[in-house]
């Protein structure tokens, strides 16, 4: 199991709309998250900054993320979400959500 933390901006004028969608996430999106071995997924919001956290229980993260990206329902969801979001200028090539380094953990 690997823990992932990611960060992404949220356009201030889109906060209520973003909250509304996430209060009622499409079942197909949730199903694909599960099929791609993601567990304990949370998104937090502070000052127009989204912090995503999840546990990955699979053994091929790249393949699972490619499977998710190829899913039609997920693509439709992302097409709605992406205009609301504002990626960090310091993100790595190819990233939307910026990956974060875990520097501390305790169970």
In this predicted model, what pLDDT tens digit does every residue of 50-61 receive, in sequence order?
999 999 999 999
Q: Given a cut of 90, is residue 20 above it in pLDDT?
A: yes
| Structural domain boundaries in the chain | 2-99
In percent, how much of the chain has pLDDT > 90? 98
In this predicted model, what pLDDT tens digit does every residue of 84-97 receive, in sequence order?
999 999 999 999 99
Q: Given a cut of 90, is residue 9 above it in pLDDT?
A: yes
Q: What is the pLDDT of residue 107?
A: 87
Q: For domain 2-99, give the CATH number.
A: 3.30.70.100
Q: What is the pLDDT of residue 55?
A: 98
The token duo for 79 is: 């097409």
Q: Which residues pair with 5 in a beta bridge?
A: 53
Q: Rounded to whole angstroms, how far apart are CA atoms 53 and 22?
A: 15
């Amino acid at each position: 199991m690997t823990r992932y933390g990611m960060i992404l901006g949220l356009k201030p004028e889109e906060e209520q709309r973003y909250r509304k969608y996430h209060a009622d996430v499409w079942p197909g999106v949730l199903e694909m998250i599960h099929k791609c071995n993601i567990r304990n997924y949370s998104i937090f919001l502070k000052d127009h900054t989204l912090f995503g956290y999840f546990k990955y229980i699979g053994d091929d993260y790249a393949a699972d993320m490619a499977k998710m990206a190829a899913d039609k329902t997920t693509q439709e969801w992302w097409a709605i979400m992406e205009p609301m979001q504002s990626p960090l200028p310091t993100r790595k090539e190819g990233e939307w959500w910026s990956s974060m380094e875990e520097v501390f953990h305790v169970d």
